[in-house]
Structure 1
């Protein structure tokens, strides 16, 4: 009897382990962008050129974990002078705080192929919980057998909560920074 219980436990454990899947970001088909309102009248957008991300799943996306690391020094708004200012101590202070990370803590289904993902965002030496909207746009199998999943992740963060640009009032730069990630992940 004890052998049967032990065998069943080992079989259940190994089934769970084999059901776990890691999806890695396809950087050539992905981008991390942001937007902020300047002077209350214009949208300024930019990208982070260097990043890494993974999604770990066990039997679907309802309990997935999301991990993202961004090299803040890779900020690119298309204007070198502005990018250098964003890297300075006035904003990101990249020499002291070179990375932005997001590690999910919970996932809540929010409609068909849509999820609310809550996790810890660490930026500028500060870690705070944020909730992002995740849209699983679909999964395909390529001719070579590789499975690819597409995601769009959106949300807003308060720059003031992360002490980004504290000397710049909302009349100059909005507090809300919009985040948009369009990404493909390979299994």
Structure 2
């Protein structure tokens, strides 16, 4: 009986210790910006801040995880007609696919830099991607996580091949987690 109590107590202490260092944080603010070159220059735009959750401790990146969503219909490019077109079935099809979603499967520090591998889903296409990111601990205890990466829009059925519009979109994502 004593042996069972010791085992139960050890499991309880270990579980409590693990939760102390791996707490789920909520994304409290951030930004999402993108740019893509086209025949007349560069189209720049933004989405509303990402939302979701993150578990992150820079001293133990392998225990980290991210589950981030961006509302696809929230982008702005300073052109109402272009924004309307991008929301259509031809591009983001926001009526049917309201979110862009990233869920990590692995987080690691490689060559002094962080990266996360996971599934990026846009429309009805999911692909495994590895995204670099930086983590900055703020004075108030929050973290600012930021990443800049390229996405081939055609891989996710965002529009069609078009000589007037480049395929590669550069995305800059920032999230403050607390």
| TM-score (normalised: structure 1) | 0.85
Gaps of 5+ in 1: none
* Greater mean alpha carbon deviation, residues 149-158 or residues 120-129: 149-158
| TM-score (normalised: structure 2) | 0.88
Gaps of 5+ in 2: none
Q: How does 1:68-83 map to 2 (within 5 A)?
A: 68-83=68-83
Q: How does 1:1-187 map to 2 (within 5 A)?
A: 1-27=3-29, 30-39=30-39, 42-49=41-48, 51-57=50-56, 60-112=60-112, 114-136=113-135, 138-142=136-140, 147-166=141-160, 168-169=161-162, 171-186=163-178
1:68-124 per-residue CA deviation (whole Å, 9 max, x = no partner) reads 111111111111111111001111111111111110011121244x31111101111
Provide the alpha-carbon RMSD of the alignment. 1.9
1:50-76 per-residue CA deviation (whole Å, 9 max, x = no partner) reads 531321136643421111111111111
Secondary structure, aligned partner of 1:76: coil
Aligned residues of 1:50 and 1:74 also touching (Cα < 8 A): no
Cα shift at 1:178:
1.0
Q: Partners of 2:7 and 2:28 in 1: how far apart? A: 42
Aligned residues: 175
